[in-house]
Structure 1
Amino acid sequence: MGCGGFHELFRVYDSRYDSRNTGYNNRHQDDTQEKISLIKRLYAEGSIDRDRYYSLKDRAYNGNLSFEQLMDIKESSFDSRENSSQDEDKPNNKNKSINKYKRKIRELKSSKEKVESIRSKIKERLNELLQEKEKTEEMAESMVSSSEEVAREYIEKKLDLEENIQVLKKREKELEKQIDEIGKTMKVIDTKMLDYEAVKLQEELEDIKKDI
C-alpha cells in the first residue's frame, strides 16, 4: 500500500474517533485494533522485521504507541527503500549484507569439506603407491642376479609408480593451498560480519535511548 492508502486509514480512524455516538471504551478498543492492523500491514509490506513487529504490537496493547509514531515508521521505511541503492549504511542494506556473508560462509565451508575429502583420498592413495613402490624396489633388487629382464620390468614399474606419486603430491599441495585460501577468506568475511553486527547493535541501543 502506498502512502496515500496509509493516510486514508488514519482518516478513517479520526472520523470514527470523533463520532459522538461511540463510548470511550469502544473508542479505546478500536484505537488498539486499528493500530494492530496498521502494524500488520507494515510487516506484510516488509517495512518492519519480525522482532519490530512483535515489539510494536506489545506497545500498542500497552497504550505506548501513537499513530504519529506509526506514521513516522512508515515514512522512514519508505525513505530507506528509496535511498537503499545509494546509501550503504541503511539498516536494510546491513541485514542484506549480513545474510550475504552468512551465505558465503556456508558455501565456503561446503567447498572446504569437499576439498578436504579429496585431499584425504589422495593421501590414502599416496600411501598405497609408496608401499607398492617400496615392494617393487625390493623385487627388482632380488631379481637382478637371477633375471635382468624381470628386474628391468620391476624398475620400469617403479618409475611409473614414482611418476604417479609426484602427480598426486603436486595435487595435494594445490589442495592444501586452496584450503588455506578458503580459511583466509572466511576470516575476512567473519570480520566484516562482526563489524556489521556491532554497528547494528549500536544503532539499536541508540533507538532504545530515544524512547527513554
Structure 2
Amino acid sequence: MPGVTVKDVNQQEVVRALAASFKKSRKLIVSEWVDTVKLTKHKELAPFDEKWFYTRAASTARHLYLRGCAGVGSMTKIYKGPQRNGNRPRLFSRGSKSMARRVLQALERLKMEDQDQDGGRNLTPQEQRDLDKIAGQVAAVSKKRNEASAFAFPRLSQLKRTALKGVERAWPDLLSTFCFCLPVGFIKCAGTKLSWESCSWKAHSSL
C-alpha cells in the first residue's frame, strides 16, 4: 500500500511480519546458545519461544527506524524491566548488553545498519524502504480484515435477532419448566415477576 510508513500501522504486527521475513529468508545468523540464555539479569528463565532471536532482531530494527543513532546502551534502556528486591520496592534493571550487542551485530552482518560518526547505529535507506514496504503489506491485510468484519457483523446481528424471536416464542414453555424446578416459596415470591417483558436478559440482549 503506497504512502504507508511504519509509524502508520500497528507496531506489533510490523514486528511479527519482519520476524517472519527474517525466519523465511534464513539470512539472519542465530547462535546455538539462544535456547539456554537469559535476556536480562532480572529474568529467572530463558524465553519460552525458541524463535525469540528473530523477534528481538525485528524489534531492534523497528527501534532503529523510529529513533536512529542508537547503540548498545540505548537498547539496554529499551529492554529494561523491574528486578525483584524481596519485600522492598523493586529496582530498575537494564537489559543485557551482550544480547543487545549480538543482535546489533547480526543486523550489521545483514547490512541493514551502519554507524555514524558518533558511533550510533542507523538503518540504511534501503532497509527503511523495505520496512515501509512491510508496513504497507500489514496495512493492506488490516484493511481486508476490517472489511470482512464490517460485512460479517450485520449478519451476526440478524442471526441474533432471529434467535431472540425464537426464545421469545418459546418463553412460556421455558418459564413453566424453570418454575417447576424451583422451590414453591420462591415461585410465590418471584413467580409473578418471571415474564418475558420483565426479563433482564431481554433488556441486555440489545448490547
Q: TM-score, normalised by structure 1?
A: 0.27
Bigger relative contact order, structure 1 or 2 (CA pairs below 8 A, ≥6 apart): 2
**Greater helix fraction, Structure 1 or Structure 2:** 1
**Greater strand fraction, Structure 1 or Structure 2:** 2
Q: TM-score, normalised by structure 2?
A: 0.28
